[in-house]
Structure 1
Amino acid sequence: MKKWPCPRLRVVATLACAALLGAGGAAWSQATNSSIKGAVRDINGPVPIATVVAVDKESGFQYSTQAGEDGSFFLSGLKPGVYEIKVSSEAYEEQTRTVQLLLGQEVSLNFILSPSAVFLEGVTVVGESTQLLVETRSSEIATNVSPRQIESLPQNNRNFLAFAGLAPGVRFTDDQDAAGQTFRSGGANPKQVNVFIDGVSFKNDLIQGGAFMQDSSRGNPFPQNAVQEYKVLTQNFKAEYEKAAAAVITAVTRSGGNQLRGDAFFLFQDQSLVEQDDFARARGDEEPDYDRGQYGLSIGGPLVADRLHYFLSAEVNNRDGVRSVFRGAQYGSAPANVRARLDPYPTGSFVAPLESQLWFGKLSWQPGAAQTLDFSYHRRDEEETRGFGNQQVEQLAELFEVTTDSAVLRHQKLWSSMLNEASFSYQKMEWSPSQLNPGLPRENFVGLLDIGGKDSFQDLIQDRVSFRDDFTWMTEWHGGHTVKTGLSLSKVDYEMTKSLYGNGYFEYRSDEAWQFPFLARFGAGDPALDFGNTQYGIYLQDDWAVLPNLTVNVGVRWDYETNMLNNDWETPADVASGLRNSCRTYSPPVGGQAEWCISDLFDVESYISTGSNRSSYDSMIQPRVGFSWDVRENGETVVFGGWGQYYDRVTLNDIFDEQYRHVFKVYTFCFTDDGTQPAGCSVPAIPWDPAYLSAEGLAGLIARGQTPGPEVFLLNNETRPPRSNQWSVGLRQKLGNWLGSLTYANARGYNGLAWSFGTLPPGTAFNDRWGAWIGIPNYGFILRSYDVRRTEYDGVFLTLDKPYTSESGWGANFAYTYSKGYQNASLDEGTAFSFDFIPTDWPLFPANQDERHRVVMSGTVGLPLNFALSSVITLGSGVPYSMPDASQGWDRFVMRFNAARGEKKDFILPDAWGYRSVDLRLEWEAPAIGDRVRIGVLAEAFNVFDFDNYTYTDWVSFFKPPAPEVNANFGKPTGEINTRRFQLGLRLRF
């Protein structure tokens, strides 16, 4: 009998067989559908061979199945929406009910037939004429964002991802003008989330942001008027979801129907509608000319009634950002010659324009009642002038561009107890910041002004072709089973162009009275690299109804990438030799000995890549289990919970420098005017000469061998991808027309990557860390990778939801999160560097987004005379800031990471909130014209009470100087976000 070489391969092979058995047809994936399962009964028991038909009220598409001998049936592949459910049998005439399904629901219900009506049993129902089916028996922590919420709630920037903030335990970027509009959960980095649209992953493999190319982007990744609804999976999601160690968003796009329908909107804002922040007003900055126009159009209808439909949408966002440039706090004490040089650079408020165009088109075809076929295309074009503000003058501006092309072909096939789904997709995403003044060196007068041209340009491209197939089978064996298995295959090509410091970067500081730069950087070489990668994923999931009121979810997935770590890279021979042979003598001794070699410190072979010794990580096996117990068997009181393991991936930008620094070499220079080594500089100092103040001057120093070679980045060949372990337990309770839940969520993150000192001997004193490292010939500072970053998160979520119904005319949602989050090693959100600790003595400290209390309330209500009012109220207790502490003297300085908090203000509760915003939207709709055309006028107010939402700067707001010095700015804010602003708009619907 042949034995498996290891248990891992046995698990993988089992998953692969299951996935291949299910991959026979064509269709799509990732919870873009909903399903109904249950039984058809009458007063005497099961009704066998009954016919159940679901008709999509919008498109006319039909989905039908036949109940078994025991009356059980299974209807899957249902796009979320409103359906007319028809139930018939030989003994009864056809009976109908109208229901609404939300995205990703797996609703269990029984149809009870009588001679005159059909009744629903075993499901939570809200509403009368159209009954909203609410899933309460899921083991997931999930929040549905409904079409009405997307359409009606106030939304300043029309970024559909912002609605993720309605979910407990999930945070979207508070600062609506920030570069990088992202969401996060579980104390994790935003890189670890993922977004699926129509079942297709938009994972960003290159840079931070998690999905799309949201790193540093202020724009919207997808047209909001093309999104029908979506679901936020905070925790405990099933094995079908990949490449996410934190929250997941799965969205479904709109489709055309049997009636021609469309809408158009225009939203306007100018400087008269935006409140200037307190600090700009105090400086006397003039308000710049500013305006923003957001407008869009969508239209959909039939090409062939009940069979073939189209949908088209477009959105444009043209807006002027406002950036304030002002001189630093030390400007008044700077020498006269320095001020004379910097005075000509203008300060004040400047316009930073952003232009975004988003397009989406879709064809939906149902050739028969058992299958559907969709084809869609999405295009994103975004460009923004940015890269300046605070002490960075307008001259430093860059042109930032983001583009996306995405095409998806999807097909699904439904049988009586089986569903096959698959997709074939193509994506190209590009992220490209470029210089507007490329010929100028950059000169940073720290604490005064930062002048010159941008010191870098980049062009990053991700090209992906993917195939995915999912197969669902419903069967009976000691209870009902819904078995789902699937596989995915992606071929990805990456192109990365980076040019850093090509015109030179020069840094001045107060230690030298800003008279000459103490530090400079210069880069030269080939800035372009390309990589190829193939990604595989397989999974098996079983939702087992052990008892009528107890369901157990058991799943496992395995992911594998052929080249996540640039396996073909070959470490240069001189670097490999230096690592094996370089030593240093210390006087006095360090760590008990006078001589240390790099080979004494770590296994250098683990950091030398030969092009064949770096194997791909094959242990991404991820078990996931959950349960739900319907205590009273009526869907009103449900206990649920789960545990799972979730792997993400290492973003390419985090490991890029290992190869890049050898083909495009970045050199560091230190300068002195008196022969002494300047503090805070890691290479030997060179006597300063004004001739060096140019790219040519620095290139001459390199040619003469007067500076060490480029930095060396050593990546561990056994680097592990980020992973999280999550578990939760909770209770859902129906309270009349409300649904409440109380949940405890636990998440622990592992394997985060950070770069730090690579060759420090053990026992190195903290203050000696920059000069005590062991070097190798012809190279500079050496960094080594460490995959030991951790996060810890504990949260308690309380939610109350009353879905909107036409009968009540209102809906409301309440989400409260109490949480504690911790991280270690680094504050960095992108590529992480840890130089404030000796590796790997990395204690945990409060996480960057460790906000203990957060409340988000939202609601919509219909008013007389065709008015409608909606609101979102967001309250947060505030995030932490670091505290530079020299109170015991500079020789005992310590950086207290995220140890400080800003001032808290009142709202209902006294001194409770560091962030407060009340957003309102009022819309009036005129009487319909010809029963088809409706015109609406709307007004929105964001932070309507103009609450002060202040931000702080570590070294200004929380610096503790040595006694008897006093920081007069201690505890004082340095900035303000989300001042009050208004927006006016028009809407046309037909």
Structure 2
Amino acid sequence: MNSKKHQIQFTKKILTSFIGAFSLSLLAHTASAQIGSASVQGMIASHLQPQPGIEVIAKNVDNGYTFRALTQKDGTYSFKGLAPGNYQIFLEAAAGKAPEPVVLKVGQSVALDFEIDKPLTNADKAEEILIVGSQLKIKSSGGEIGTNVSLEQINKLPQNTRNFLAFADLAPGVQFNQGTDGSTSIKGGAQSPDAINVFIDGVGQKNYVLRGGVTGQDSSRGNPFPQSAIGEYKVITQNYSAEYDQLSSAAIVAVTKSGSNEFHGGLFFDYTDEGMRKPRPSEEKNNNEKVESNQKQFGFNVGGPIIQDKMHFFFAYEGKNNADPKDVIPGGGATVADLPSALQAQTGGRSADFKEDLYFGKLSYLVSDEQKLELTAKIRKETELTGIGERNALSYGTDKKNDETRIDLSHNWRTDDWINDAHLLYEENTWSPRPHSMGNGFKYSNGGGQAILNVGGGPDFQDKGQSGWGLQEDFTYLAIQGHSIKTGIKYKSIELHAKEQQPYNPQYEYNLQYDRNASVPFKVRWGAPLTGIGDGTAKGDNMQLGIYIQDEWTATDNLTVNAGLRWDYEESDSFLDYKTPTDVVEGITKWVGIGKSDLDINDYVSTGNNRNSFKNAWQPRIGFSYKFNDEHDMTLFGGVGRAFDRNLFDNLQLETTKATFPAYEALFITADPSHPCAPDACVAWDPKYLTRDGLTQLQTGNKGAGREVFMVNNNLKTPYSDQYSLGLRGSLNENWNGEVSISRIVSKDGFAWRLANRRDDGSFFAPGTTWGAPWGFGIPGFGATIIGDNGIETKANSFYLKLERPKAESNWGFALAYTYTDPTTNRESGEVFALDYPTLNDYGMHPANKVPNHRLVVTTIVGLPLDIDFSAKLNLQTDRYFYGTDCRVGWTACKFDTFTPDESFIYKQLDIAFSKNISTGGWITDSSMTVRLDVLNLFNSFNYDGYESWFGGAGENLPDNFGKHNDSLAGPTRTVKLGVSWNW
């Protein structure tokens, strides 16, 4: 064993011991409030004279949990770390006034001052206190840009997925996207979905292995959590405090429901099928013959007391069974008529199945007025057919399992001077795709390399996930007047694993533009294990450590400043201890071209001792809010900060898995001018190469022949974003609130794979050309050499507008979120392979795709006569950019370019819902049944998600169908969904 590994193990042992001792010390002596908790604070005075020593009580109306605080010398009191909900605030000895009701939202701070009738002396402290007045105000968070999503909005606004995150787009700057495959994701600004994090009951749900930001959301149609178990949540667009970790764009902070002192529960069932929707574009072209499809969503929840005012439980289950329509559409400028007849039969509408089961349970116990224990568990089970639609035929699809378990044991302890929130965590997530059909796969493209159609056996065979435990401690100190000082530490020990046998089925590539009959492929790629070495499996022991300190300083009655500093560190032995195979190192010494290039390949050769973990993840964050007046709560706010995300294991593991289950490739001799190769790098075609035995012969006797080599930079950095904002918020009158802000977010050091191949003279492109990657010029005896490095960058300048009329006690509510964004990036969003140019700088900065310039989301909830509720949600987007390839100047002078479809709105959708409550009190007291009708996409707008992006080949004009939509849609056609629920 090498010394570095000894050093890492020694460090972990010391660190674990330190954290264990530190945690026990905190449990005995200190405390902190969890992410998303709320607070109530204020002053008790008589004729402007502060009143110390008065006991203030905060009682949760639903479960009876009671908390107490004494006013300090300056007459102030404070309740920090309260779970969001309905409370009564009162003085123990008060008379003549009912308790003050307070509704606390996620992350909200409320100021509640009391005026009593006379100053108190030591002699009359025990007498009754007469309250003559009180004043309730919502305090602004320093610099934070956030939007609360209420339980009423979750329950009543129309939606299709029952994914509680679907309402995150009520916050300006945030998108909830549904892809053509039905998968859902959240984006903040111009960054990828990987950069978000979701915190449930104070605990991050980050995916350390796969994409999507949240475990289980990589290309899944499923939901991350039962919607019926969510109480409410908050979307923080930027300028979050230092306690938020492992993200560089939006943070979603949710709290779950708990049992109360009364038994409550409910059940629901939603249904729709192909008879309840309008035809999709491809179905219209097929005489309106619809693909069979349906969606069933169902579940129940129950909660109540085990011991009144002491112990409560809550349980929720939700299930989903889908058969979703997909459209298989040729790309690359081709139409169905351009395809051979055998391929034409594989286009058109298809159905893809999906099944999900979600379970959540919570047990809460109030040990005393100062201490609370809570145990929660979530289980998620999914199976689905995915990877079909657009360019992928049904035969090319993937069968996938997606399972997750999370357990959280928390202990909350509060005193007058501090609060503690400690979490002991366990998590396990597995993601296992397999090819839907076995056999050879065939990929058809045009001369510019754009995909036309993929059929046959798909390449996808994986088993990836994360499992392990964690400890999270947060400490808030309240004894210094005007300050709320919060600090914390998080430690995780996680095993990351990946098994990747890619491509599992051999993939043969044909240029249909040159060879319409697909008689001879120009390339084949296949995977095979290295005998006696490995089978494409990688495992890594991952240690994560994060510490922070944050001070919320009430500098004056009008000025609040939040200043914090965070530091994160991560060790993964699969990266640190990896050793570049000896045969690869030997091959590099014979590589003539790399020695003449400007690329230092030694930066990517690992000895097992020359790598270090990134240690500079220092993240200063500061925000402020200044209230100009009390009449309209007009407040100026702003902030600046840095936030580090992380490098995904799914990228780093390729270095190991490709070294033991490498992808081989062979280039075949053709006269195709768009696919030339070095004279000694091409093989004469023989039909025997359509068999495994034939491919084995292509490997020759040399186990390295044709083998791809993946290498990661030894000094890999962690991606981050710098965030700046300034805004103004306030109440326009007693019913309306408004907010405007400007924002700039710059993200850097995103991970990308580049091609290290260099021609014999050290160049990337052939002399006189600007296109044509040097395939066949990798490490001698091997295939392509691909290097992993930092370099993806995005910039987004934005203007946010938010207007809100809370429904509260009135019969209607309204919310508007408008975002203008000017986004740029040097790589297509979601794409980590950049193999067409030698550096990422060569791609240049382009308008970022998948980010609209203008975005407007409007919602309303209205109470109608006969106990009917009406709700609506409007989503409008314009100017969305798409990437394409332009080879009109010549096959050796192609380039990437962007375009916007020639449409006024790239996305427009209006959803409405009606619900009617019917009392069933004759069956069970206080019970009711609700029947519901949702009409999704009322005006049947076709929101196309794919456009012809082929600018044309050498000497050609711009194709007639360039920039025109194909038939793939994001979101539904007009769809009617029926639902029924019963609650008691």
Q: Same fold (TM over 0.5)?
A: yes
Quote how far apart the aligned CAs of 1:118 are.
5.7
- Number of the residue aligned with 1:742: 740
Quote how far apart the aligned CAs of 1:914 are.
1.6
Amino acid at match of 2:906: G
Within a 5 Å distance, the mapping from 1:816-831 to structure 2 comes to 816-824=818-826, 826-831=827-832
Alpha-carbon contact 1:536-1:560 (below 8 Å) kept: yes
CA distance in 2, matches of 1:468, 1:24: 15
Amino acid at match of 1:893: C
Indicate how the Cα distance of structure 1 residues 654 and 88 shifts in structure 2: closer, same or farther if over 3 A, else same: same
Alpha-carbon contact 1:671-1:678 (below 8 Å) kept: no
**TM-score normalised per structure 1:** 0.90
Matched, 1:249 2:244: no
Alpha-carbon contact 1:310-1:361 (below 8 Å) kept: yes
- Number of the residue aligned with 2:865: 864
From 46, 50, 56, the counterpart of 1:52: 56
Quote how far apart the aligned CAs of 1:936 are.
1.0
CA distance in 2, matches of 1:680, 1:161: 48
Alpha-carbon contact 1:19-1:539 (below 8 Å) kept: no
CA distance in 2, matches of 1:362, 1:982: 34
Quote how far apart the aligned CAs of 1:660 are.
1.6
- Number of the residue aligned with 2:360: 360
Alpha-carbon contact 1:669-1:683 (below 8 Å) kept: no
Matched, 1:968 2:977: no
- Number of the residue aligned with 2:568: 559
Matched, 1:539 2:548: yes
Within a 5 Å distance, the mapping from 1:767-916 to structure 2 comes to 767=770, 769-771=772-774, 775-806=778-809, 808-824=810-826, 826-836=827-837, 838-896=839-897, 899-904=898-903, 911=904, 913-916=905-908
Alpha-carbon contact 1:366-1:373 (below 8 Å) kept: yes
Quote how far apart the aligned CAs of 1:500 are.
1.3
From 88, 102, 111, the counterpart of 2:114: 111
- Number of the residue aligned with 2:220: 217
CA distance in 2, matches of 1:601, 1:279: 50
- Number of the residue aligned with 2:293: 290
Deviations 1:129-155 (A, max 9, x none): xxxxx4434420011111111111111
- Number of the residue aligned with 2:660: 663
CA distance in 2, matches of 1:985, 1:639: 44
Indicate how the Cα distance of structure 1 residues 648 and 255 shifts in structure 2: closer, same or farther if over 3 A, else same: same
Within a 5 Å distance, the mapping from 1:718-733 to structure 2 comes to 718-733=715-730
Please identify, of 768-777 and 558-567, the stretch whose mean Cα deviation from structure 2 is larger.
768-777
Deviations 1:865-904 (A, max 9, x none): 11011111111114111243344444543221xx211133
CA distance in 1, matches of 2:831, 2:953: 30
From 486, 497, 502, the counterpart of 2:504: 502
Deviations 1:385-423 (A, max 9, x none): 122224433222321111110111011111012111110
3-state SS of the aligned residue for 1:562? strand
Amino acid at match of 2:527: G
Alpha-carbon contact 1:455-1:503 (below 8 Å) kept: yes
Quote how far apart the aligned CAs of 1:431 are.
1.1
- Number of the residue aligned with 2:211: 208
- Number of the residue aligned with 2:918: 926
Quote how far apart the aligned CAs of 1:928 are.
4.1
Indicate how the Cα distance of structure 1 residues 448 and 80 shifts in structure 2: closer, same or farther if over 3 A, else same: closer
Amino acid at match of 2:750: G
Matched, 1:441 2:440: yes
CA distance in 2, matches of 1:874, 1:746: 24
CA distance in 2, matches of 1:973, 1:715: 38
Quote how far apart the aligned CAs of 1:348 are.
3.6
CA distance in 2, matches of 1:850, 1:290: 30
Quote how far apart the aligned CAs of 1:933 are.
1.5
From 893, 918, 938, the counterpart of 1:944: 938
CA distance in 2, matches of 1:256, 1:972: 53
Quote how far apart the aligned CAs of 1:707 are.
8.8
Alpha-carbon contact 1:466-1:491 (below 8 Å) kept: yes
Alpha-carbon contact 1:872-1:919 (below 8 Å) kept: yes
- Number of the residue aligned with 2:8: none
| Unaligned stretches of 5+ residues in structure 1 | 1-11, 124-133, 585-595, 905-910
Quote how far apart the aligned CAs of 1:455 are.
2.1
Alpha-carbon contact 2:63-2:261 (below 8 Å) kept: yes
- Number of the residue aligned with 1:512: 515
Quote how far apart the aligned CAs of 1:921 are.
0.9
**TM-score normalised per structure 2:** 0.90
Alpha-carbon contact 2:144-2:638 (below 8 Å) kept: yes
Quote how far apart the aligned CAs of 1:967 are.
1.4
CA distance in 2, matches of 1:279, 1:348: 7
Indicate how the Cα distance of structure 1 residues 472 and 537 shifts in structure 2: closer, same or farther if over 3 A, else same: same
Indicate how the Cα distance of structure 1 residues 631 and 331 shifts in structure 2: closer, same or farther if over 3 A, else same: closer
Please identify, of 937-946 and 556-565, the stretch whose mean Cα deviation from structure 2 is larger.
556-565
Alpha-carbon contact 1:658-1:712 (below 8 Å) kept: yes
- Number of the residue aligned with 2:397: 397
Amino acid at match of 1:901: T
Deviations 1:144-184 (A, max 9, x none): 11111111111111011111111000011044x53531111
CA distance in 2, matches of 1:515, 1:868: 62
- Number of the residue aligned with 1:582: 591
Alpha-carbon contact 2:751-2:790 (below 8 Å) kept: yes
Quote how far apart the aligned CAs of 1:565 are.
6.5
Deviations 1:344-373 (A, max 9, x none): x55442221111110001101101111211
Alpha-carbon contact 1:473-1:483 (below 8 Å) kept: yes
CA distance in 2, matches of 1:708, 1:617: 35
Deviations 1:914-952 (A, max 9, x none): 211111110001134244220111100111111222233
Indicate how the Cα distance of structure 1 residues 401 and 474 shifts in structure 2: closer, same or farther if over 3 A, else same: same
CA distance in 1, matches of 2:816, 2:940: 22
CA distance in 2, matches of 1:74, 1:18: 26
Alpha-carbon contact 1:180-1:209 (below 8 Å) kept: no
CA distance in 1, matches of 2:678, 2:61: 69
CA distance in 1, matches of 2:244, 2:792: 24
Amino acid at match of 1:876: Q
Quote how far apart the aligned CAs of 1:619 are.
0.8
CA distance in 2, matches of 1:261, 1:28: 31
Indicate how the Cα distance of structure 1 residues 327 and 535 shifts in structure 2: closer, same or farther if over 3 A, else same: closer
CA distance in 2, matches of 1:681, 1:886: 22
CA distance in 1, matches of 2:116, 2:351: 66
CA distance in 1, matches of 2:466, 2:703: 39
CA distance in 2, matches of 1:19, 1:486: 10
Amino acid at match of 1:460: K
Indicate how the Cα distance of structure 1 residues 29 and 685 shifts in structure 2: closer, same or farther if over 3 A, else same: farther
Deviations 1:38-81 (A, max 9, x none): 21123342122111111111111111111112211111221101
- Number of the residue aligned with 1:588: none
3-state SS of the aligned residue for 2:52? coil
Alpha-carbon contact 1:137-1:630 (below 8 Å) kept: no
- Number of the residue aligned with 2:699: 702
Give aligned pairs, total.
Answer: 934
CA distance in 2, matches of 1:346, 1:782: 35
Amino acid at match of 1:568: D
Amino acid at match of 1:715: V
Alpha-carbon contact 1:219-1:356 (below 8 Å) kept: yes
- Number of the residue aligned with 2:148: 144
Quote how far apart the aligned CAs of 1:706 are.
11
- Number of the residue aligned with 2:135: 121
Deviations 1:184-238 (A, max 9, x none): 1121111111111111111001111011121111111110001111111110000
Quote how far apart the aligned CAs of 1:533 are.
0.7
3-state SS of the aligned residue for 2:99? strand
Amino acid at match of 1:618: K
- Number of the residue aligned with 1:751: 749
Indicate how the Cα distance of structure 1 residues 706 and 200 shifts in structure 2: closer, same or farther if over 3 A, else same: closer
Fraction of identical pairs, as percent: 31
Alpha-carbon contact 1:473-1:482 (below 8 Å) kept: yes
CA distance in 2, matches of 1:386, 1:748: 34
CA distance in 1, matches of 2:542, 2:608: 15
- Number of the residue aligned with 1:157: 161
3-state SS of the aligned residue for 1:164? helix
Alpha-carbon contact 1:299-1:312 (below 8 Å) kept: yes
Indicate how the Cα distance of structure 1 residues 238 and 757 shifts in structure 2: closer, same or farther if over 3 A, else same: same
CA distance in 1, matches of 2:966, 2:815: 34
3-state SS of the aligned residue for 1:456? coil
